[in-house]
Amino acid sequence: MSTFQAPKGTYDLTPPRSATFLAVREAIAAPLRDSGYGYIETPGFENVELFARGVGESTDIVTKEMYTLTTKGGDQLALRPEGTASVLRAALEANLHKAGNLPVKLWYSGSYYRYERPQAGRYRHFSQVGAEAIGTEDPVLDAELIILADQAYRSLGLRQFRILLNSLGDKECRPVYREALQTFLRDLDLDEETRRRIEINPLRVLDDKRADVQKQLTDAPKLRDYLCDACKAYHEEVRALLTAAGVVYEDDEKLVRGLDYYTRTTFEFVHDGLGSQSAVGGGGRYDGLSEMIGGPELPSVGWALGVDRTVLALEAEGIELDLPYATSVYAVPLGEEARRVLFGVVTGLRRAGIAADFAFGGRGLKGAMKSANRSGARYALVAGERDLAEGVVQLKDMESGEQSAVPLTEIAAELAKRLG
Ligand code: ATP
Ligand code: MG
């Protein structure tokens, strides 16, 4: 160990576990790529004001969890705590919404930073893969995104997750509900902070995890009873499309994203094997966000799935991904001349697209064969002076143990054939 350790609330991804993270990112991205979503990458930091407006001044993310800094030039920046605001900012800046057909469909993958109390499944640096569909209000789009996330989780073999679904109404019906809820909440016995929350972000109170608060909320007015006809019809359509696709969901009236520009469809993916950090992903419609950050009206919908928690979910279900070994062939030279010749062979194999590795450092046969084993390679190539004199290398099948001499000039073709 060195003098240094990873900062509090962070951890390193190291082999072999890191391969699972890559595979999870890939599994989430694959259905998006196949469905017309283009890859977008934005900076790891943004002007702090983007998140203040684009995530919301009343959220925990902005008030408590954001890493902010002032640059030497005096700019106020924040490490990105989430992806949606940045992606929308970038799409507007590049005029993607004017360039072609709407919706603009984008996906991203990256690191996010939140100053949280570290615990299992909750870190200060974590990883998300996300998707945004910008500029179209269509229940099919909401359904598409939920179906693609479901498909991604299923492709990983996950089964113990549930989809929670709700509608938050729109700018017509939501304010009426908000006021009714505030009137109800003001009469409850609540602490100072929660009372303040009633005024700024009352829907968020419904999300309170404390049992004594939840008990008082039993008779709270229900958003469902306040949805306008357009929102009701929209939500019914999303539900019907999910059902038609065979995607099982649960209606959850308490599921809220209490910001003014979050509208209609909202959903969360929860996994039952994760304890209290059970949300593996979440998303919804944000019809008002573009205008909040100075853009035109662009109704949009998106989600972000947490890679860290998805890996924990795999581990909770005891799922081992079927990851192909990185190395197909492991070369073991015996002696100086063999080192040069076999390294040339390895270079040639690599150029021919065959994954190959090499026993570096001039170890003896025993140690080198141990490394060959550990590499997971299907074949080992062993050559000493006598082999070279005959113009052959020994090709060993690591599974059967069977060994045969193959002419140097034919080794690439032979391996290509055997590896299919
Ligand atoms: P939570 O309620 O658990 O705090 P959240 O509502 O803050 O989650 P989102 O902002 O919706 O989470 O982010 C989407 C996903 O990103 C989450 O479902 C989760 O998988 C992951 N995520 C969020 N915060 C963290 C974190 N601090 N550490 C690890 N993963 C996280
Ligand atoms: Mg959070």
Contact between 405 and 394 under an 8 Å Cβ cutoff? The reply is yes
Tokens of 35: 């469905």
Lowest average pLDDT, out of 125-134, 136-145, 193-202, goes to 193-202
Contact 68/74 with Cβ under 8 angstroms?
A: no
Q: How far is it, in rounded angstroms, from Cα 37 to Cα 27? A: 14
Which of 195-199, 252-256, 410-414 has the highest average model confidence (pLDDT)? 410-414
Q: What is the pLDDT of residues 150-173, one digit of tens each?
A: 999 999 999 999 999 999 999 899
Q: Which helix (H) or strand (E) holds 87?
A: helix 84-93
As a whole number of angstroms, the distance between CA 177 and CA 236 comes to 19
Q: Which is it for the CA torsion 146, 148, 151, 152, positive or negative?
A: negative
251-254 long-range CB contacts below 8 Å, 24 or more apart? 251/164, 251/165, 251/166, 252/164, 252/165, 252/166, 253/166, 253/222, 253/223, 253/224, 254/166, 254/206, 254/207
Q: Judge whether residue 240 has pLDDT over 80.
A: yes
List, for residues 82-121, the tens digit of each pLDDT value: 999 999 999 999 999 998 789 999 999 999 999 999 999 9
Q: What is the pLDDT of residue 320?
A: 95
| Pocket of ligand 1 contains residue 144 by CB under 6 Å | no
In the chain, CATH 3.40.50.800 covers 329-419
282 lines ligand 1 (CB under 6 A): yes
Residues 226, 128 contacting (CB under 8 angstroms): no
Is 284 within 8 Å of 256 (Cβ atoms)? Answer: no
Is the model's pLDDT at 261 over the cut of 80? Answer: no
* Contact indicator for 300, 285 with CB cutoff of 8 Å: yes
Q: Residues 25-71: pLDDT tens digits? A: 999 999 999 999 999 999 999 999 999 999 988 788 998 999 999 99
What percentage of the chain carries pLDDT values higher than 90? 88
Most informative mutation of 11, 21, 82 for ligand 1 (most atoms within 8 A of CB) = 82
| Fold type of domain 17-173+227-316 | BirA Bifunctional Protein; domain 2 (3.30.930)
DSSP type of residue 62: I
Closest C-alpha to 357, from 340, 345, 341: 345
How much is the pLDDT for 147? 98
Centre of ligand 1 to C-alpha 306, Å, is 6
- The one-character DSSP state at 274 is S
pLDDT of the residue at 258 = 59
Gap from CA of 127 to ligand 1 centroid (Å): 10
- Report which protein residue has its CA nearest ligand 1's atom 29: 122
Q: Say how many residues make up the chain.
A: 420
For residues 388 and 352, is the Cβ–Cβ distance under 8 A? no
| Neighbouring residues of 192: CB distance < 8 A, sequence distance ≥ 6 | none
Where helices occur in 317-361 by DSSP H, the ranges are: 336-351
Q: Are 339 and 402 in contact (CB under 8 A)?
A: no
Question: Which of 21, 25, 126, 206 is the pocket-test mutation for ligand 1 (most atoms within 8 Å of CB)?
Answer: 126
Residue 404's CB: how many other CB atoms inside 10 A?
A: 11
Confirm or reject: Cβ of 169 under 6 Å from ligand 1.
no
Q: What is the DSSP string of 289-304?
A: HHHHTT-----EEEEE
pLDDT in tens, 265-313: 999 999 999 998 999 999 999 999 999 999 999 999 999 999 999 999 9
Full-prediction pTM beyond 0.85? yes
**Measured from the CB, is residue 253 less than 6 Å from ligand 1?**
no
Check if 176 has its Cβ closer than 6 Å to any atom of ligand 1: no
Q: Round the average pLDDT of the chain to a whole number and report it.
A: 95
Cα separation of 381 and 331, whole Å?
A: 5
Contact 177, 340 (CB under 8 A): no
Q: Fold for domain 329-419?
A: Rossmann fold (3.40.50)
Residue 206, pLDDT above cutoff 90 = no
* pLDDT value of residue 285: 96
Model confidence pLDDT, tens digit, residues 310-333: 999 999 999 999 988 889 999 999
Q: For the chain, where do the domains classified as CATH 3.30.930.10 start and end?
A: 17-173+227-316
Distance, CA 61 to ligand 2 centroid (Å)?
Answer: 7
Q: Whose CA is nearest to atom 17 of ligand 1?
A: 281
Q: List the one residue out of 255, 279, 253, 254 whose CA is nearest residue 267.
A: 255
pLDDT at 408 over 90: yes
Name the DSSP class of 122. Answer: B
Taking the CB of residue 122, how many other CB atoms lie within 10 A of it? 16
Q: Are strands 161-167 and 263-271 parallel, antiparallel or unpaired?
A: antiparallel
pLDDT at 272: 94
Cis peptide bond upstream of 103, omega within 30: yes
Tokens of 106: 């984008």
Q: What are the pLDDT digits (tens) for 331-370?
A: 999 999 999 999 999 999 999 999 999 999 988 899 999 9
- Of 66, 122, 268, 276, the residue with max ligand 1 atoms within 8 A of its CB, to mutate for a pocket test, comes to 122
What three-state secondary structure class fits 313? helix
Ligand nearest to the CA of 28: 1
Closest ligand 1 atom, CA of 305? 15
